[in-house]
Amino acid sequence: MFNRPRRNRKNASIRSLIRENSLGVDDLIAPLFIIDGKNKSEEVSSMPGIKRYSMDLLLKEVKELHDLGIKCVSLFPALDDSLKDKHASESKNPDGLLQRTIKEIKNKFPEMLIMTDVAMDPYSSDGHDGLVDENGNILNDETLDILVEMSLNQAQAGSDIIGPSDMMDGRVMAIRSALEEEGFNNTLIMSYTAKYASAFYGPFRDALDSAPKSGDKKTYQMDFHNSTEALREIHADEAEGADILMVKPGISYLDVIRDMKSSTSLPVAAYNVSGEYAMVKAADEKGWIDGDAVAYEMLVSFKRAGADMILSYFSKEMAMKINKLN
Ligand code: PBG
């Protein structure tokens, strides 16, 4: 035999020398859930290990992430139902929970990048990402005005990266134009470019109590039977001024990540979503898998598929693991 692939695997040293991909702490973005109040933390029951924090405790969490070497957090406010309405008005409140939190984090950790989600659902009494008319239709162009205001408001509060997760047509263009006009030419847009209508978002909707009150999100989020359709979204977001493109969910969509990476010169992000986290934690709790090892393998698979960065609820524990390995 001339060809013995096992020669290149014969010990840890040669394996590390030929290794094609690696996971670093600086690949990771940590999503965080915020609640109002003081000294409050609440477990998200479908996401063991993940909590909603009041701002004081959230700052401690951000400090720990910062000390671990994590460079970016993505913030999601969990609002009381009394603050939700049809037009997501609370998203425009300059003193809202999210806005206050952005300012506090920027104040204490100026170099920590803050990413904020742009979509109506956490603020909407309908639980949809867009404006709902009396027949249950999600109105595209009317929603854009709200998304633009939301984005400007987040940029004003100090958000570094605006993350439109709503899947309305033309949102990146609308947001980019407004940011340029208002002097926020250094604010990035990480677009949820290929965001699928997915059952993997269940635990996240528990965390924010943001599930749609009626209907589903299939008229705006993509049909998971499709992959070529993602190319159309990629071309649109590139032309409209996005800085980073994202695929979501992640683990069942590695083919889409690969396609995206080979069809754009922009950086590609993957969102390892709540349901993917929950499945690993549940099986780990039952003793059926080694959750830590499976999580690491999952995150490396995103890198192998071509992702430049990963949003994951595993970010903190993986950063601890990676720091220990190094
Ligand atoms: C809001 C939004 C969702 C997620 C991120 N931003 C939920 C949804 O679209 O229903 C999901 C994140 C996750 O499941 O971890 N538009």
141 pLDDT tier (thresholds 50, 70, 90): very high
CA separation (Å) from 31 to 58, 65, 74, 138, 180? 11, 11, 4, 27, 27
pLDDT reading at 188 higher than 90: yes
Tokens matching residue 59: 């700052």
Tokens matching residue 79: 């609002």
CA dist 37 and 57 (Å) reads 10
Ligand 1, residues 131, 150, 201: which to mutate, most atoms within 8 A of Cβ?
201
> Is position 268 within any domain?
no
Ligand 1, residues 165, 220, 246: which to mutate, most atoms within 8 A of Cβ?
165
Could you tell me if the CB of 276 is within 6 A of ligand 1?
no
Q: Per DSSP, which regions of the chain are E strands?
A: 28-34, 41-43, 51-53, 72-77, 113-118, 131-132, 138-139, 161-164, 188-195, 244-248, 268-272, 309-312
Name the residues annotated as catalytic. 195, 248
CA dist 283 and 173 (Å) reads 42
Domain count, the chain: 1
CA dist 302 and 97 (Å) reads 32
pLDDT in tens, 106-126: 999 999 999 999 999 999 999
CA proximity to 112, closest of 165, 39, 59: 59
Unique residue bearing structure tokens 């499945």: 279
Q: Vertex 274, ends 272 and 278: CA angle to 5°?
A: 110
pLDDT at 98 (0 to 100):
98
Ligand 1, residues 204, 219, 224: which to mutate, most atoms within 8 A of Cβ?
204
CA dist 124 and 202 (Å) reads 17
Could you tell me if the CB of 121 is within 6 A of ligand 1?
yes
Beta bridge partners of 132: 138
Q: Which pTM value belongs to this model? A: 0.97
Q: Per DSSP, which regions of 183-275 are E strands?
A: 188-195, 244-248, 268-272
pLDDT in tens, 22-57: 999 999 999 999 999 999 999 999 999 999 999 999
Determine the distance from the C-alpha atom of residue 13 to the mean position of all C-alpha atoms in its chain, rounded to a whole number: 35
CA dist 145 and 316 (Å) reads 35
Longest CA–CA separation in the chain, Å = 72
Nearest atom, ligand 1, residue 203 CA: 14
Residue type, 1: M
> Is position 49 within any domain?
yes
> Is position 254 within any domain?
no
Ligand 1 centroid, distance to 201 Cα (angstroms): 6
pLDDT reading at 322 higher than 90: yes
The mean pLDDT value for 295-311 works out to: 98
> Is position 239 within any domain?
yes
**293 Cβ neighbours under 8 A, 6+ residues apart:** none
Q: Which helix (H) or strand (E) element contains residue 294?
A: helix 291-305
> Is position 64 within any domain?
yes
pLDDT reading at 80 higher than 90: yes
pLDDT at 325 (0 to 100):
85
Could you tell me if the CB of 204 is within 6 A of ligand 1?
yes
Could you tell me if the CB of 274 is within 6 A of ligand 1?
yes
The mean pLDDT value for 193-221 works out to: 95
The mean pLDDT value for 256-261 works out to: 98
The mean pLDDT value for 5-18 works out to: 97
Give yes or no for a contact between 244 and 193, defined as CB atoms under 8 angstroms apart. no
Tokens matching residue 302: 């995103």
> Is position 115 within any domain?
yes
> Is position 10 within any domain?
no
Q: What is the DSSP letter of 138?
A: E
Tokens matching residue 283: 């099986």
pLDDT in tens, 233-246: 999 999 999 999 99
Average pLDDT, whole number, for the chain? 97
Could you tell me if the CB of 313 is within 6 A of ligand 1?
no
| CATH number of residue 223's parent domain | 3.20.20.70
> Is position 223 within any domain?
yes
The mean pLDDT value for 127-145 works out to: 97
Ligand 1 centroid, distance to 172 Cα (angstroms): 18
Tell me the residue range of the domain where 222 lies.
22-244
CA proximity to 90, closest of 193, 208, 227, 9: 208
pLDDT reading at 105 higher than 90: yes
What share of the chain in percent tops pLDDT 90?
A: 99
pLDDT reading at 315 higher than 90: yes
CA proximity to 70, closest of 9, 113, 133: 113
Could you tell me if the CB of 192 is within 6 A of ligand 1?
no
